Amino acid sequence: MGLCRFGRLVEGVGVGRRRPFATSSSAAGGDEMIVRGTGSKSLNLYSAINQALHIALETDPRSYVFGEDVSFGGVFRCTTGLADRFGKQRVFNTPLCEQGIVGFGIGLAAMGNRAVAEIQFADYIFPAFDQIVNEAAKFRYRSGNQFNCGGLTIRAPYGAVGHGGHYHSQSPEAFFCHVPGLKVVIPRSPLQAKGLLLSCIRDPNPVVFFEPKWLYRLSVEEVPEHDYMLPLSEAEVIREGTDITLVGWGAQLSVMEQACKEAESDGISCELIDLRTLLPWDKDTVEASVRKTGRLLISHEAPVTGGFGAEISASIVERCFLRLEAPVARVCGLDTPFPLVFEPFYMPTKNKILDAIKSTVNF
């Protein structure tokens, strides 16, 4: 499927805000991190997700995984072996009905269970939009905190996959970032995917967890085999710099990293931030970086108009207006349906980002 176009993710990138590593199996939301090395294994992204699901099912008998074809491993093999190990009472197939999948998950979570619902492609999440937006997100609020469905996690592969066309390549994260009551999380690597997914499953709020399918097999790194969690709503500074701040998430981080390296050869120092959680997002980390660099560039695969980059831009302008030395730049997908043969023209590529970096720094 042409997954090698962006190359391999950078190895050895730390987690958290440049904090020292320390062992942890505690709940998300703190500063606890994890240790690489001992007890780790080289995994690709879909295998790391599979490992996280194994741990979730093993550590909590109230956990369930369900969706279209999940007992057979799913389209991307993320649920391989789960039904064989935990039984088809806990890992089971559903009808091809996204509204029903999420609706069932809401009921299951409302009864005190951990419901992990899989939407086969994020492009097909829209039939479940009413259940997610009007039911799951508002369940706690409408009941005056008497009831909730906080044990619901909705997994959905999103983004470009290499000529997937307009029904298998969309990035719909911005739709859900407009909904109070939800959390929206997107990992960029196997290490992140495992720790963030376990945090989502154990979080007391409904979560939409978008998985960058471009990286399912492409992204490979050492992942600890033990149970660990990474804090939600905490961005990660994965590259420090002084001239411009770059913000992204998911598969776009590998493209941005390449652009940062080329910019460095031209004497431009880039600070690169992985947002990781889009709702609620870590404004403080981005603000601190922009106050240092004076410039901001945001990149995402979704169309530019109404994309989540616009929210980041507006918030940072409100907070850092007097420190900005150039307009906030956005390098995003085009305002068209996701194309098939013209996908390379649609995507925010390394060269587009590099050009925007130079234009912003030289403004």
Which residues are known catalytic residues?
A: 98, 168
Residue 363, CB-side half-sphere exposure with 13 Å CA sphere: 18
User: How many other CB atoms sit within 10 Å of the CB of residue 163?
Assistant: 14
- Close Cβ partners of 239 (under 8 Å, ≥ 6 residues apart): 257, 260, 270, 271, 272
Instruction: List beta partners, residue 66.
Output: 92, 117
Tell me 65's DSSP state: E
d(CA 346, CA 209): 24
Planar angle of CA 236, 4, 46, nearest 5 degrees:
60
Question: What contacts 107, CB < 8 A, 6 or more positions away?
Answer: 149
Contact call for residues 197 and 209 (beta carbons, < 8 A): yes
Mapped onto helix, strand or coil, the DSSP state of residue 92 is strand
Task: Give the other-Cβ count within 10 Å of 303's Cβ.
Answer: 18
Name residue, tokens 């044990």: 151
Separation CA 170–CA 358 (nearest Å): 28
d(CA 24, CA 60): 18
Beta bridge partners of 207: 153, 183
Contact status, residue 316 vs residue 286, Cβ threshold 8 Å = yes
Q: What is the spatial distance between Cα 217 and Cα 190, in angstroms, rounded to a whole number?
A: 10
